[in-house]
């Protein structure tokens, strides 16, 4: 799949998120060199064709809320995958203090 420079950087950052951790769309945008491009990150995730290499289910909203997921049953599938990986939830949102990714 041919991707833009931005998309390639986004996919590389998301590929680095370890199992059991999540990152926010804004965090991914900043790490990809485009602070403020959280919505563009969302579009990249929506068009991700390789969910094994680019675990887009590990990308969440700024408050830890689960937002869009284009695969399986949508948000319920995303939550199940995160729970299987050990991601901690507080009500309907990911507990970012426990499961937020802090890159080295």
pLDDT tens digits for range 21-76? 999 999 999 999 999 999 999 999 999 999 999 999 999 999 999 998 888 899 99
Catalytic residue (one of 38, 41, 44, 56): 56
Residue 44 designated active-site: no
With tokens 């986004």, the residue in question is: 10
Q: Is the overall model pTM greater than 0.85, yes or no? A: yes
| Domains of the chain, residue spans | 5-94
Q: How far, CA to CA in Å, does 74 sit from each of 36, 56, 71, 91, 95?
A: 25, 12, 6, 18, 20
**Residue 50 and residue 35 in contact, taking contact as beta carbons nearer than 8 Å:** no
Q: What is the pLDDT of residue 72?
A: 87
Class of domain 5-94: mainly alpha
Burial class from Cβ neighbours inside 10 Å (0-12, 13-18, 19+) for residue 24 reads buried
**Residue 17 and residue 94 in contact, taking contact as beta carbons nearer than 8 Å:** no
């Amino acid at each position: 799949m041919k991707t833009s420079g931005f998309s390639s950087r986004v996919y590389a950052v998301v590929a680095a998120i370890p199992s059991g951790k999540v990152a926010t769309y804004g965090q991914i945008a900043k790490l990809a060199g485009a602070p403020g491009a959280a919505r563009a990150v969302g579009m990249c995730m929506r068009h991700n064709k390789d969910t094994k290499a680019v675990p887009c289910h590990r990308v969440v909203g700024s408050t830890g809320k689960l937002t869009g997921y284009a695969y399986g049953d949508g948000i319920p599938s995303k939550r199940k995958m995160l729970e299987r990986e050990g991601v901690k939830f507080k009500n309907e949102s990911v507990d970012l203090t426990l499961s937020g990714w802090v890159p080295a």
